[in-house]
Amino acid sequence: MTVRVGIIMDPIAQIAFKKDSSLAMLLAAQARNWTLYYMEQRDLYQYGGQARARMRALQVFNDPEHWYETGEETDAPLGELDVILMRKDPPFNGEFVYSTYLLEMAERDGALVVNRPQSLRDCNEKFFATQFPQCTPPTLVSRRADILREFARDQRDVILKPLDEMGGASIFRHREGDPNLSVILETLTEHGARQIMAQRYIPEIKDGDKRILMIDGEPVPYCLARIPAAGETRGNLAAGGRGVAQPLSDRDREIAAIVGPELRKRGLLFVGLDVIGDYLTEINITSPTCIREIDNAFDTRIGERLMDAIAQKLQR
């Protein structure tokens, strides 16, 4: 019997064909003759103690002019799917949390959810990295201006960022002598109402913010170094960074070996580690990207590797 794979994602009509990792996953699943179903977050609902969705059969194509077709909408229990790929982008807000509740019900009814819903809730992409202090730069999470100021004074050059954004949104650099710290803290913490993260600035960002993809706790042997545009401190592709695929360094592998067992324990099957120089800065678990850029450079077939891991989980 064929494997039934559902995906929850942002509108497929609006993806960037050349870069979209969800499309790479779908193409790999379809190549195995697995049946695909398309959902957006708004399509999920609960009725009678059961998680359900309005979903459409999906076909995908490796064609930049025509990459998908959907069938008629049907209504079905999420638990009837064998696999659910949760690929909704942040922000991680209340609606995202409610989706994890629904996906936990689907998990209870037999679906394999990638990544595990409880871990999507528990492992904030910024905060989760603090569980591995041996891998990170000096890092602080606080909403108090005085504590944040002390950290900025001690470190002298820092990055300040919100805990719930993506793509380099609302990231600030503050250097000793910069008079704008007050307004940065007021903006990010909403005058002390929100926790934010501060990290010591890592000069090696000039060589790229490396995205290391992890499949069931094991690293893909190549990463994508996202190199900032001129005058930028952010390497994110969404912020204008340039991607260069390259082999993992010894330190990259060391970080992956430290973090990997915890990812496996938490059911985090597909994860992106962000590493600048020798330091882990974030752990991306909601919808990690960069599959297609690495594949194009090194024929790594990351989507196929992920489907292999999923198939092994289904056999257990």
Please identify every residue annotated as catalytic.
126, 161, 211, 226, 234, 274, 282, 284
Which DSSP string corresponds to 194-242?
Answer: S-EEEEE--GGGGG-EEEEEEETTEE-SEEEEEEPPTT-S---GGGT-E
Question: What is the distance between the alpha carbons of residues 151 and 199, in angstroms, rounded to a whole number?
Answer: 9
Is residue 115 within 8 Å of 103, Cβ to Cβ?
A: no
Spatial distance between the Cα atoms of 219 and 272, rounded to a whole number of angstroms: 9
The β-bridge relationship of strands 83-87 and 172-175 is: unpaired
Helices (H) and strands (E) in the chain, counts: 8, 17
Distance between CA atoms of residues 313 and 269, nearest Å: 10
Q: How far apart are CA 179 and CA 36, in angstroms?
A: 53
Distance of CA 198 to the CA centre of its chain: 20
Beta carbons within 10 angstroms of residue 231's beta carbon: 6
Structure tokens at 185: 């803290």
Radius of gyration of the CA atoms of the chain, in A: 20
Alpha-carbon span 286 to 289, nearest angstrom: 10
Q: Where are the beta strands (DSSP E) in the chain?
A: 4-9, 35-39, 44-47, 50-60, 68-77, 83-87, 112-114, 139-142, 157-162, 172-175, 196-200, 209-215, 218-219, 222-227, 242-247, 270-276, 279-284
Cα 40 from Cα 183, distance rounded (Å) = 37
